[in-house]
Structure 1
């Protein structure tokens, strides 16, 4: 049985991602939780949903994020909510906060991976070109 969560009896609220998806199709709700100690597994522990995040690219290669800036400002400014790192990255990319350093690190790693893949493709194409001549 799930317990009713009364936020005034708990400590500092936190903003994080709640997984609402199925196998091989993740979808996240950006939610406010009453206290980090209660965990994030159950819907009954969610105080408010302030946005959504779809991490899989659509047909235009976009990852969709929807945020309610007014409610985020309330929870961060007036209620002093703790924010998880993935949500900080999303808020940095959206312009509400400065860009998180982890975003720069992830971009650098992705550039290196793409560079390695292009070098490997060139190596596999060179013998094919020699055989055709």
Structure 2
């Protein structure tokens, strides 16, 4: 388990996600970590937890994020903390920062994936309709020409 520590000199802190979930149920804490230049002694230690992120959608298809904007502004503004890309994406979507370009790329990829799925469904429906028409025409032809 990670410990909450306050070293005397921790250099330039970084803000990132710490995994606190299970194998099939991820859950992240948005945490402030000490500078990695301090060495392995402080590796994995947390200075402060400033939020949480639940990446799995709930019953209403929402991914829940809770952030303490006051503390984030303190760490970013006064302590000049480095921010990881996943946290930058969350902060962009929450409105604290501009939206990260990676969010736009992910949205574009998702739209393309949905369009491909819709085309597949339409093609399968057209194929099924064609087969049904062929069966209906062969059935009608068989009834019109009795042997």
TM-score (norm 2): 0.80
- Residue by residue over 1:99-130, the C-alpha shift from the partner in whole angstroms, topping out at 9 and shown as x without a partner, is 11111111111111111111111111212112
> Quick check: 1:116 aligned with 2:145?
no
Partner of 2:131: 131
Distance, in Å, in 2 between the alignment partners of 1:41 and 1:124 is: 53
State the Cα distance separating 1:8 from its structure 2 match: 3.2
Instruction: From the superposition, tell whether residues 11 and 41 of structure 1 become closer, same or farther in structure 2 (CA, over 3 Å).
Output: closer
- Residue by residue over 1:33-75, the C-alpha shift from the partner in whole angstroms, topping out at 9 and shown as x without a partner, is 0113457974xx0011000001111111111000000000000
Partner of 2:80: 80
Partner of 1:101: 101
Unaligned runs of 5+ in 1: none
Q: Secondary structure at the match of 2:59?
A: coil
Partner of 2:16: 16
Instruction: From the superposition, tell whether residues 31 and 110 of structure 1 become closer, same or farther in structure 2 (CA, over 3 Å).
Output: same
Q: Secondary structure at the match of 1:31?
A: strand
Partner of 2:36: 36
- Structure 1 or 2, whichever has the larger Rg, is 2
Distance, in Å, in 1 between the alignment partners of 2:14 and 2:55 is: 21
**Number of matched pairs:** 130
Unaligned runs of 5+ in 2: 134-147
Distance, in Å, in 2 between the alignment partners of 1:13 and 1:102 is: 23
List structure 1 runs of 4+ shifted beyond 3 angstroms.
2-8, 36-42
Partner of 1:25: 25
| Cα RMSD after superposing both structures | 2.2
